[in-house]
Every structure is written in structure tokens, then in C-alpha cells.
Structure 1
Amino acid sequence: MQLTSLAAAALLAQGATAQFGNSMLRFACSQLVVDRIDPLVNPGMKYTPHLHQLVGGNSLNVTMDPETHDLTSSTCTSCTFKEDKSNYWTAVMFYKAKNGTYKRVPQVGNGGPQGKLINKGGLDLYYIPSGKTTAFKKGFRMLAGNAANTDPNKVQKSNICHRCWTSPNENTFVGGAPCTGSDTVDIPKSKSCKMIRQTIIFPTCWDGKNLDSPDHQSHVAYSSGSGATGGGACPSTHPVKLPQIMYELMWNVTEFANSPDFPTDGSNPYVYSMNLGGPAAHGDYLFGWEGDTLQKAMDNIGRCGLNTDCPTAGLHAQTPDQYSSCTKEQQAPEEVDGWLAALPMGEMAIKA
């Protein structure tokens, strides 16, 4: 089932779980590790330029050489489905207090019309097919967004956005479909925001040849569609339709919005770990599903859906305790929790 942006917005706003839920895979991923590594953009480097939070299979390492690394060799995954050994990661959001110190913003699972997802940090994952969809091939990887960008006009709001979540918890839904309405490319800074929902939607069109490209983006392209609908028609240069991947993160800013050290000079206290704002939001993806399980899930999307077993595709859902127990030690060890004197950039983090 393909939904237009308007239809998707209406369904989400009305809480039509059955119709929209059965058109996608939606599941939780707890944090595997918060670490200064980036095996896609900076393979082999420890203490990369900025901090990431990473989820997925525990075979994650600093290098992840696509010629030799088999993601399915992971012995566990911090995502719901046991068969998904992929790795997914984003930058980390920090709060900057009036005195100049920083604290990592905590995260919660997402609620909304389709039901609560339970995760320990991490993010929520969506795989949304549209029409004939070809699952990713072994060794496939890609990047969405630009970690150095400071111009919101260079970001398509329908692909990367932030929402001011004014309700006191994630279960009371706010707004419509992802990246619509009052959502913004910039990170909201209003004290009325109890949470900030971040959405990253990946390209859905592939050139059909290259599993990666030097910039990790040229081998894929966005379709003519908009928003979280599975994508529209693909350009002739990238004719193969992929499942649409969407990351959804709930940054819980309640403790900061209510704090006396919230800046009063009008500045935005919320920044990503690059020390940049919303236009620099980005997500990395390394495909690692076992066998043809993802293809079968996309082919049987009416039977495979939300966070539950799907025997038709050979998918087995773990309990929250099971996938949340899959963690990994930092490979670039440093303290990243509590108050920090500066963002972890360059040298090891320094406690305030």
C-alpha cells in the first residue's frame, strides 16, 4: 500500500494503526554504544571528530572493511529482530548550560498512534516499501545528511527534520506525519518543548551497481516522492527502488527546559556533537540483515509489521530486555555522561 503524504498525515493524526502499521516494518533499537568512531566516514580512526550513538549488531568495530567484514557474524543485536545485524548511527545531541558546560541529552522510545516502542537510548527504525522494492545487498552502506552543513536551506525538510514535542511524554502524540506541519530543519529551542523528535529519512533509489560511493551518497538518490511514504518514482540514473529507511529519535529535554541554567540570551542550547545545529543532522547505515529476510519482509509487508514475529519472512522479535542487553565497550574510551567542560571533539572528553 502506497500512501500519499496527505493520507499518511491523516492516518497518523487519527491513530489508524492497522492501515499504516501494516505498510512498514517499525521496530526499536537500543543503544549498542556511544563512541567516537565512524567506520563509514572515518574507517580505522579512534577519537573521530565527533561523537556518535550506534545501534545494531555487536560485530561493530572501528574499521568495518567491506571486503572482509561480515556484519551477520554478530552474536547479538540491539535491535528488535534477531536477523537484523545492521549498524545504524547518528550524532549525539548535547545541552549547553549558561556556564558553558555540556550534558548529553537522554533519549526515550517513541509512542504515538502505532504503540510504544521500548528502547534504552538508541532509535526507532522504519523500513517502508512502495511498489516493487529491492532489499539492500550484502555490503551496502550509505549516509544521509551532511555533518558539516550549517545552512537549513540546503536541507530538504521532508527528509531531515525536528519536532517540538510539547506533551509531557512520548505516548501523547504531537502533530501529523513525520517532517510535515511545523517541523523544522533547525533544532527547536523553545522551553515549551519537553522532547525533541528527530527524523532522518534516507534515499530510496539505487544505481543498481555500486554498494557504496566515495561520498557514501552518490550511488543513491531521493525519489520524486516526499516524506515517509516509501518514496515515489526513481530517476533513470538510479532506477532500483529500495526500502525507505527512516530513523526516529526522541531526545528528552524536559530536565533542561525546566532548569534555571537555561540560556537567557536567546541562543539555542541544543547542539549536535559536531557543535552544530539541525542542518548538520545525519545518519549512517551499514546493511547487515541475514540472508533474504529483509526482502521477504518487504514482499510480505501486510503480514510483517510492528515489532512482532513474522514467520513468513523468518523474522524473530526479541524482548526489550534481550535486545537492550546487547551492548559493546567503547573502542575510543572516554567519559561522555554527566557534565563535560567541552564537547568531545579532538582530544578525549574532559569532565566539568
Structure 2
Amino acid sequence: MKTKIVVWIMLMLVGSVAHASASFSVQCAYSHTLPDDPIVYPGRPGEAMVHDFFGNTKSNAFSTYESLNNNKVTTCSSNADVSAYWAPQLKRAYGVVSPMYQKTYYKNDQPVVPIHQIPPGLEMLAGNHMGTAPNPHVNFLCAGTGGYTTTMPKTCPVTSPGASSQLNISVHFPDCWDGHTLAPILGANKSTRMSNLMKAANGGLNFAYRNPDGTCPSAYPVKIPELQINLAYDLGTDPDLSNAQLSLDPVFENGKWVPQWGSMYTAHGDFFNAWHVETMKYLIDMCMNKPEVGGSCGSGIPVYYSAASANVQLDSKGPADPSGTTFVSDPDNVILIKFPMPEHLDDYPYAKSYLQTLGGNTTDDSAVMLNLYAATTDWDDTEHLPNAAACSTSQGIGGIYLDNVQQVRTNDISGYIAALKAAGAKEVGLCIRNRTGKTVSFSSRSGSWTPGLYLK
């Protein structure tokens, strides 16, 4: 396999970062099946074990970061994830069992060091391709019957009359990267490749598993989210798994590749990262390295995100107030916010556009509604401060519901963003007018939660 190296700038390793035990997830329906593996057998179709693919609909033996990124069609629940995920095929005595879906959790179970973005084009392996015994990084679950176990069950009982039984296979990926090697170096010949694949079982290629205290080994200093891929198989009303097997690499006999099958302990997973870079940055900066507040993580994943570039508060008499980390908006005050318009908005499909803020009513425990209006963008928050005329109270664009809980608020401004996009606008200006008679507060762009445009 060709060695892929990147220069990774480690500026994020310096400074103070809030470490949060947050996670996000995507669910990707089964896409297609091929005897291909773009990590282990790149450019060699038919030579790999049969794999079930999820996510990017055109993943195959020839997949590269560029080819995945050029195909924006995905089976995943987030349109921002055009990555490829794949796993060996499952067979029982009567035939192949196709997966329903896989759900991948991106986790930070031991939040002791900062999490970094998964770099574009990163290739990862997990699990033992030649395993014959339980692996601490691979678990099995019969849905509805208890917790995960490293021991493969012989049967997955039906939990209620007429229902189907379900087997889940969970593969935990290593979460400490060496900081420069995008693709695992497996070697050119089969014996070397198989030997190096054995290292993947314990995280010995371009990745390692974290230390017991949550830190990373010195040779693998970059902590990224831990991927936990959960594969779901519908077994129907037949719970028997006593003869279940997973696909192995084929052998070449009489001029053709002949499929092979082996132990369920050969369970493993592969991941080829092609997340939208803007989205991955949001998920790391605004989710995994911050406390989870008001649904900012989980499955709430933007396709595009743009952080505020300027914000200013105007008091009720008009003068601009320099912003600190928090806007404390008294009755009749105005908050002006400006954002860069996200670029290449036709690349990834999205349904709606939102304003995302962190705020709440600080006067009492009642709920209030603040009005949102269009604003000009010919101002900044340093030398060219705006005046009240920058807020167009004749052009309402939405509202913000606030109770007395300080949490992330996501409010629909789809019509406004669509109009600005059609007009070719490079910036987005809006204002929040407080006519509630209450004092409310919002985080500014220098505070704990930067206001953002959130397109999903």
C-alpha cells in the first residue's frame, strides 16, 4: 500500500481546553456488498474477503479520499458524512445474513486530554482479521436480552411472540493517532500484510488504544474520538447462531477467487474518513471539547457551520456597547451578530438553516420570545461599530424562545438564508431585539459558546 503522510500542525495541543464526556453518532443503512477492501487491497478488486459497505454509495477497491469526497451520496443519517465503513459478511447455515445498518458512536469516554479532529482521508482498522478467541475490542449483543459480551452467543432468542431476533456486533477502534500516517502501512506481500493486520487487533499500526488513565502513548500523541461501530443483523424468527461464520480472504483456485469463511472472532471493521471538514471541526470544537448543552451533540449534526465573525450590543438609547464574554440584554436592547456565509452550499444537501446561540432568561422562571430581524453587514466589533439603523425591524426573520435555563438554542431562519444565498451574499447579518420586559443573556463569540449558523 502506498504510504500516505500528512503534516499535522499540533497547535491544538497547547493551551487550555474544556474536556467533555460528549459523543455524537450517525446511523448508516446497508449500502452494497463487494469482495473489495480499499485499505488492505487498494486497487485490487475481488482479492479481498466479501465486505458489507455502509455510508458512501460508491466505495470499492479503488476508493480514495478524493473519490469519496466527490460522491456526496451517503446512506448515513448525516449528509455531511460521506465516509466509507465496511465489515465482513455474516453467514449462517442456510445462507448469508445482510445487515440492516450500522450505527457509529464517536466517543470520548475518558475526557482527560483534548480531542482533535479526525483528519481528512484517515484510514483505520480494528478487530482481529484472523481471530479465534474473544477480543476485548469486539463485543456481541442479542438485542433485548442484556448487555454486550466478548463471547459470541450460540443463539439470539426472540424476545416477544412474532418479533424478530437481532444480533449486534460492536467494534471499538483505537483513539490515539501517530499524528502523521494517514493509512496503515501493511506491506506488499501477503505474509507481511497478514502479520501487520494482526497488529490492528491491539492498535499497533498508525493507531494505538489509549492508556488506562485516558492519555495517549507517547508514539501516538494525538487523541481523536473513539469510533464504536455497531452492526445490526435481523435474524428473523430463527435465533440459531451455532454455525455462524464471517467472511475471510478468498483463495485462488482453478483460475478464480473462491470465498472462505471463518470464526465469528474474526469480526472487525474498517473506516475511511470523508466527513465534511467544517462539520468535523464543529463536532470537535463545539461538542466533544465542550460540555453537552441543550442537544449540541448526539445526532444533532450540521452539514454546514459558520461561527460568528462579529457581535455588538446596543443599549436602549442607541450607543454600541463593547462585548465581553456575555451579552446581558436589558429590555429594548439590541444584539447584532454577523457571520461569513458558508461556501459551496450546493455541495452537500441540507434541509434548513438555523441560528445557534447559548442563552436564557435571567429575570425569572418565565419563558419569553425574542424577535429576530435582518441586519446590515457593513460594520465590525472593533473600529466600525454599528448604530441602531443596522437592525432592520421591518424585516422579521424568526424568533428565539427562552426559558430560564442557560442552554443552546437552535432557531429556524431558513427563509432568510435562502434569500441571501440567492442574492450571492458573502456575509449574514441579523439582530436580536429584546422587547420582552425581561433581562436575558447570551454568550458572545468570545464567551463559552460562539453564536453560529447551523445548516442541517
TM-score after normalising by structure 1: 0.63
Report the equivalent of 1:37. 36
Report the equivalent of 2:181. 210
Aligned counterparts, 1:242-257, within 5 A: 242-257=224-239
User: Once the 2 structures are TM-superposed, how far is the Cα of residue 59 of structure 1 from its aligned partner?
Assistant: 4.2
Higher strand share: 2
Could you tell me whether the CA contact under 8 Å between 1:58 and 1:77 is conserved in 2?
A: yes
Q: Kindly provide the amino acid, as one letter, of the partner of residue 107 in structure 2.
A: I
Aligned counterparts, 1:282-321, within 5 A: 282-301=268-287, 302=292, 303-310=295-302, 313=305
CA distance in 1: counterparts of 2:156 and 2:128, whole angstroms: 27
CA distance in 1: counterparts of 2:84 and 2:156, whole angstroms: 33
Q: Is there any run of 5+ residues in structure 1 with no aligned partner, and where?
A: 1-21, 98-102, 108-120, 168-173, 226-230, 320-352
TM-score after normalising by structure 2: 0.50
Report the equivalent of 1:26. 25
CA distance in 1: counterparts of 2:304 and 2:247, whole angstroms: 41
Report the equivalent of 1:128. 107
Instruction: Indicate the structure whose relative CO is greater, using CA pairs within 8 Å and at least 6 residues apart.
Output: 1
Q: Deviations over 1:301-338 (max 9, x none)?
A: 2253333344784798789xxxxxxxxxxxxxxxxxxx
Q: Deviations over 1:228-255 (max 9, x none)?
A: xxx9211111111011111012222233
Aligned counterparts, 1:133-148, within 5 A: 133-148=115-130
Q: Deviations over 1:151-194 (max 9, x none)?
A: 33xx22xx2111233x3xxxxxx435xx4xxx1243x1125362
CA distance in 2: counterparts of 1:318 and 1:244, whole angstroms: 29
Could you tell me whether the CA contact under 8 Å between 2:79 and 2:303 is conserved in 1?
A: no
Aligned counterparts, 1:316-327, within 5 A: none
User: Once the 2 structures are TM-superposed, how far is the Cα of residue 201 of structure 1 from its aligned partner?
Assistant: 0.7
Report the equivalent of 2:69. 72
Assess, with a 3 A threshold, how the Cα gap between structure 1 residues 236 and 164 changes in structure 2: closer, same or farther. Answer: same
Assess, with a 3 A threshold, how the Cα gap between structure 1 residues 219 and 106 changes in structure 2: closer, same or farther. Answer: closer
Aligned counterparts, 1:100-249, within 5 A: 103-107=95-99, 121-129=100-108, 130=111, 131-152=113-134, 155-156=135-136, 159-165=137-143, 167=144, 174-176=145-147, 179=148, 183-186=149-152, 188-190=153-155, 192=157, 194-215=165-186, 217=200, 218-225=205-212, 232-249=214-231
Assess, with a 3 A threshold, how the Cα gap between structure 1 residues 86 and 312 changes in structure 2: closer, same or farther. Answer: closer
User: Once the 2 structures are TM-superposed, how far is the Cα of residue 64 of structure 1 from its aligned partner?
Assistant: 2.2
**Secondary structure in 2 matching 1:273:** strand
Report the equivalent of 1:271. 245
Of the candidates 54, 64, 80, which is equivalent to residue 83 of structure 1? 80
Assess, with a 3 A threshold, how the Cα gap between structure 1 residues 134 and 196 changes in structure 2: closer, same or farther. Answer: same
User: Once the 2 structures are TM-superposed, how far is the Cα of residue 198 of structure 1 from its aligned partner?
Assistant: 0.7
**Secondary structure in 1 matching 2:237:** helix
Q: Kindly provide the amino acid, as one letter, of the partner of residue 304 in structure 1.
A: S
CA distance in 2: counterparts of 1:87 and 1:318, whole angstroms: 23
Report the equivalent of 1:63. 62
Could you tell me whether the CA contact under 8 Å between 1:308 and 1:317 is conserved in 2?
A: no
**Secondary structure in 1 matching 2:54:** strand
CA distance in 2: counterparts of 1:59 and 1:105, whole angstroms: 22
Identity of aligned residues (%): 24
Could you tell me whether the CA contact under 8 Å between 1:185 and 1:278 is conserved in 2?
A: no
Provide the alpha-carbon RMSD of the alignment: 2.8
User: Once the 2 structures are TM-superposed, how far is the Cα of residue 44 of structure 1 from its aligned partner?
Assistant: 1.8
**Secondary structure in 2 matching 1:256:** coil
CA distance in 2: counterparts of 1:197 and 1:255, whole angstroms: 16
Q: Deviations over 1:272-316 (max 9, x none)?
A: 122222220010010101223212112222253333344784798
